[in-house]
Amino acid sequence: MDRWILLKHLEQFIQEDLGDGDITTRLCVEDEIVKGVVTSKEDFVLSGVREATVLFEDHGVEVKEYFDPGDRVGEGDVLMEVRGPASVILSLERLALNLIMRMSGIATKVRSMVDAAEGTVVACTRKTTPGFRYFEKKAVQDGGGDTHRMRLDDMVLVKDNHIALAGGLQEAIERAKKASFSKKIDVEVVDFEGAVIAAENGADIVMLDNMTPSEVERAYTKIKDIRKDILVEVSGNIDIYNVKDYTPHADVVSSGALTHSAPAVDVSMTIER
């Protein structure tokens, strides 16, 4: 994301948190130059540190980063140090930590899935927090995953409701072909018959949704027989414990849980004179 667009997002977050000002800091703290040290309190994959840096630097605070996004960090590691007016650092502290905590939690969950998938592409979905999608998708990227669609206009994704309203799978695909040549067509199916129809009628990607590993294997083999360049995406109740059952017959594994169910990690900031 361009820096000025990122700053626009961050300013909205600041307004949400700051209100009319940090009254506690204004009443209790002399506005001197201080140092803030951000420390990890557990092991995780780091994300959000660059966004936190932009937040601080835009408000005149000096920043020193000790790790890059995507690095594994351990309990007790110093992630970054900031130096500037106490009033500014204290006012931005919680927002900066929230960014790192939430984004690192996602990156860590994604990395676990990526490691378990052993080379198969791991992608997230649009099951993101409204207003926070960029940050959650960026965290997926930092964790080694693929961001899938950022928005509805990125590609054509034909799902069950589209199929029902179009009057059937084949009709939905024919309508989808009217999109620009630059847009791939991804078709979600729930059985072998649907997979064959999608592959035979021009789908670029066939998403096998909530199918068993044996069903996926059968559909994958048939799809590749029809056209080898069709990508097979597998989705639905897949986690680090069963992903290896699917990856031999999948080009992509997608999961909404990577974003909507990732727990935040624990980090803290200590202020020093």
| pLDDT value at 2 more than 90 | no
- Under a CB-based contact definition with an 8 Å cutoff, are residues 61 and 82 in contact? yes
Give the whole-angstrom CA distance, residue 149 versus residue 218. 27
List where CATH 3.20.20.70 sits in the chain: 118-260
Q: What is the pLDDT of residue 30?
A: 87
List where CATH 3.90.1170.20 sits in the chain: 3-113+263-272
Strands 78-85 and 267-272, bridge-based pairing: unpaired
At 38, give phi and psi (nearest 5°).
Answer: -95, 125
Q: What is the pLDDT of residue 206?
A: 98
- Please say whether the structural domain 118-260 has been given the CATH code 3.10.20.340: no
Assigned fold of 3-113+263-272 = Aldehyde Oxidoreductase; domain 3 (3.90.1170)
- Under a CB-based contact definition with an 8 Å cutoff, are residues 122 and 141 in contact? no
Question: Taking all residues of the chain, what is their mean pLDDT, rounded to a whole number?
Answer: 96
Q: What is the pLDDT of residue 1?
A: 77
The per-residue pLDDT for range 24-74, each reduced to its tens digit, is 999 999 899 999 999 999 999 999 999 999 999 999 999 999 999 999 999
Q: Which residues pair with 234 in a beta bridge?
A: 208, 253
- Residue 66 belongs to what H/E stretch? none
The per-residue pLDDT for range 120-163, each reduced to its tens digit, is 999 999 999 999 999 999 999 999 999 999 999 999 999 999 99
pTM, two decimals, is 0.95
At 171, give phi and psi (nearest 5°).
Answer: -65, -40
